[in-house]
Amino acid sequence: MSEKLNHRTILRMQGITKRFPGVLALDNVDFSVRRGEIHSLIGQNGAGKSTLVKILAGDYPPTEGDVYLDDRHVAFGHPRDSRAEGISIVYQELSLLPNLSVADNIFLGREPGRNFVIDEDAILDQAKEVLGQLGIDNIDIQQRVALLPLAQQQLVEIAKALSYKPEILILDEPTAALTHDDADRLFTILKRLKEQDIAIIYITHRFKEIIEICDRGTVLRNGKLVSVLDIEDTNEEELVETMIGQEVETFFRQEHQEAQIKEDELLLKVENLAVPGKLDGVSFELRRGEIVGITGLLGAGQNELARSLFGVQEHVTGIIKRNGKAVHIDSPREAIELGICLLTENRKEEGLYLDLSVAENISMPSLRRFLSSNFVPLISARKEKEAAKQFIDKVNVIVRSAEALMRTLSGGNQQKSILARWLLRDLEILVFIEPTRGIDVGAKMEVYRYLDNLAAEGRGIIVISPELIEILGISDRILAMHDGCLVQEYERGEATEELLSAAIQGASNYQNRNST
């Protein structure tokens, strides 16, 4: 598996190990990239791709291992250092300042001008030049970034990275928010960069893209290096299997219970749900015992859909019927009372109370259950702790005691605690957005198994995820969304990754025959 010393190799990471408290993120990984190639880093969430790339970008040092640029040993103490060595990275979360203009953002920190004063004209000229080199001519460089559409913001982010004249460009999920056309434009730019001998490290979980533009791929699983592939010698299915380490079918079918879907028991019926600019009249049903998977590109409206069911989405119109009765869900409280709960994708920002204990985090929506008695509205710490412990075990949160502060848990355990919270609350309808984000592969299986059990117990589950194979594996029914519309609906077994991928990209042959 070691890289034959290729004269075109520009980057060599050797024996990289990275430990965080309680977690081994990378285990003796080798990774090398050649000039002028587009090299994909492949792996599921939690496989270690981000960690590897962040080490390269200078966010933190490796616990063990070395990095060589052009056979020169380097060590980065700050992102500044890696940039100076010719490495530029574009993260999925944009780092643009919303109130500054495009030009100002590109040159933030390096504004031309004599020490004190900034040379406005020089900024504008250079910004124009940078965008021009990329063939981007439709963005107003004086426009405030906040007012640009997401796709253009991403392009600005890439322009910013390129303005540092890197030799290695790292892109983390660059097409997550882009339409087909935007993505094509991006690929043209990337090919142009290839010709300039720039090495590109490309992280995506869109296998189609990998096949289309990448030359080689390094597959990681659970922090370990699995293999390095020549893309033209492989295909999508092989990529997926290498990534998860087993055949796709067996991974998800393990212990899958026969879905006991009560056809006539409609837990939820949604009619013409709409949010201006985001969601355009979506209708679907959720029956008792089934798992409905919803997928689409970033911004296709699936998150807004989920939020509408939980009362945290503004400007919602349409009808929601719970057990046949039309209801208004204006707040999470009302949703919970209707038996609906939501697990958002931003667990840290939207779910965790870092300075409270694990038990307190888990019990928060269920406090009424732990009152000492009916007359005295005081919380019984004992009851609370017992219940929390029960679910800590069920979901396998690894923690010394239920009283430990949430802050001290690893990311994966934090995620699981939020899951425990809603399981404890015990509601009939569960809406999960990216339930396995940040959870390693072993734990993912547990989560899928748990979802299966929950459904079998008679609940209705909605899972929203951008990972097509995940959706394909666990859903009884799949809803594909594109641009705010529900474009296609599949029963279990009807869909393939290719069909789904096309549907969410809005390929016209796949318009839903039932769409209004």
Partner 1 sequence: MTTQTSMRSYRITIGRIFQRFGLPMMILAMITVFASLNENFLGFSNFQNVLEQNAALAIVAVGITFSIISTQIDLSPGSVIALVGVITAIIFRDTGNIILAIVVGISAAIVIGIFNGALIAKLNLNPVIVTLAAYIWARGLALALTQKDSVIIQSPMVGFMNNRIGGLVSPTMILVVLAYLLGFFMLNKTRLGRYTYALGGDEMATKQAGVPTDWYKIGIFIFSGFLVGIATLITVSRMGAAQPNAVYGLELDAIASVIIGGVSLSGGEGRLRHTIMGVIFLSLLNNGLSTLGLRDATVLFYKGLVILTALFFEVSSRQMLKDEIIENPV
Partner 2 sequence: MEAAQRSHTADANWAERIEKWFQSWGTVLVALVLFVIFSLTAEYFFTLQNFQNILRQVAIVAVVAIGMTMVILIGGIDLSVGAVVLSSAAVMNSLLFNEVVPAVPAIIIGLLAAALVGFINGLLIVKAKISPIIVTLGTMVMIRGLGQMILWINNSWLWVRHPIFTYIKTETIGSIPVPAVMMFVLYVFAVIMMTKTRFGRHIYAIGGNERAAHLCGIPVDRTKILVYVFTGFISGIAGIMMSARLSAISPGVGLGLEFEVITAVILGGTSLAGGVGKVEKTLLGAIIVAAILNYMTIKGISAHYQRAVTGFIILAAATLDQLSRGRTSS
State the residues that interact with partner 2 by CB under 8 A: 61, 63, 75, 77, 310, 312, 331-333, 335-337, 342, 344, 349-356, 360, 364-365, 367-368, 377-379, 421
Nearer to partner 1, 58 or 65 (CB): 58
Give the type of residue at 254: Q
Residue 331 CB, nearest distance to partner 2 (Å)?
8
Residue 83 CB, nearest distance to partner 1 (Å)?
7
378 binds, among partner 1, partner 2, none (CB under 5 to 8 A by kind): partner 2
335 binds, among partner 1, partner 2, none (CB under 5 to 8 A by kind): partner 2
Q: What tokens appear for 83 in the block?
A: 């940039």
The DSSP H or E segment spanning 229 is: strand 224-230
Alpha-carbon distance values, 164 to 7, 157, 219, 505 (Å)? 25, 12, 28, 32
**Do the Cβ atoms of 488 and 510 come closer than 8 Å?**
yes
CA gap 487, 41 in Å, rounded: 31
Site of interaction with partner 1 (CB under 8 A): 79-80, 83, 95-100, 104, 108-111, 113, 115-118, 120, 146-149, 274, 276-278, 314-315, 317
398 binds, among partner 1, partner 2, none (CB under 5 to 8 A by kind): none
Residue 368 CB, nearest distance to partner 2 (Å)?
7
3-class secondary structure per residue, 397-449: CCCCCCCCEHHHCCHHHHHHHHHHHHHHHCCCEEEEECCCCCCCHHHHHHHHH
The DSSP H or E segment spanning 225 is: strand 224-230
Nearer to partner 1, 25 or 96 (CB): 96
Residue 88 CB, nearest distance to partner 1 (Å)?
12
138 burial (CB, 10 Å; 0-12 / 13-18 / 19+) is exposed
The Cα angle at residue 330 between residues 325 and 333, in degrees rounded to 5: 90
CA gap 481, 305 in Å, rounded: 10
Nearer to partner 2, 243 or 329 (CB): 329
Nearer to partner 1, 75 or 147 (CB): 147
Residue 220 CB, nearest distance to partner 2 (Å)?
22
Q: Which residues neighbour 382 within 8 Å (Cβ) at sequence distance 6 or greater?
A: none
149 binds, among partner 2, partner 1, none (CB under 5 to 8 A by kind): partner 1
Residue 462 CB, nearest distance to partner 2 (Å)?
16
Nearest to 177, CA basis, from 148, 152, 159, 156: 152
Nearer to partner 2, 120 or 350 (CB): 350
213 binds, among partner 1, partner 2, none (CB under 5 to 8 A by kind): none
110 binds, among partner 2, partner 1, none (CB under 5 to 8 A by kind): partner 1
Q: Are strands 64-69 and 72-74 parallel, antiparallel or unpaired?
A: antiparallel
CA gap 44, 51 in Å, rounded: 13
Residue 1 CB, nearest distance to partner 1 (Å)?
34
Residue 80 CB, nearest distance to partner 1 (Å)?
5
CA gap 85, 425 in Å, rounded: 51
Nearer to partner 2, 34 or 369 (CB): 369
**Do the Cβ atoms of 400 and 355 come closer than 8 Å?**
no
354 binds, among partner 2, partner 1, none (CB under 5 to 8 A by kind): partner 2
Nearer to partner 1, 226 or 274 (CB): 274
349 binds, among partner 2, partner 1, none (CB under 5 to 8 A by kind): partner 2
Nearer to partner 1, 61 or 245 (CB): 61
Residue 400 CB, nearest distance to partner 2 (Å)?
13
Residue 334 CB, nearest distance to partner 2 (Å)?
9
Q: Which residues neighbour 374 within 8 Å (Cβ) at sequence distance 6 or greater?
A: none
79 binds, among partner 2, partner 1, none (CB under 5 to 8 A by kind): partner 1
128 binds, among partner 2, partner 1, none (CB under 5 to 8 A by kind): none
Nearer to partner 2, 62 or 412 (CB): 62
Alpha-carbon distance values, 60 to 13, 41, 77, 92 (Å)? 14, 19, 7, 18
Alpha-carbon distance values, 367 to 300, 312, 384, 444 (Å)? 36, 22, 8, 29
Give the type of residue at 395: V
Nearer to partner 2, 36 or 332 (CB): 332
Nearer to partner 2, 175 or 302 (CB): 302
DSSP three-state, residue 127: helix
77 binds, among partner 1, partner 2, none (CB under 5 to 8 A by kind): partner 2
360 binds, among partner 1, partner 2, none (CB under 5 to 8 A by kind): partner 2
Nearer to partner 1, 274 or 388 (CB): 274
**Nearest 5°: phi and psi at 136?**
-100, 120
Residue 376 CB, nearest distance to partner 2 (Å)?
9
- Looking up tokens 């734990």 gives 443
Residue 193 CB, nearest distance to partner 2 (Å)?
32
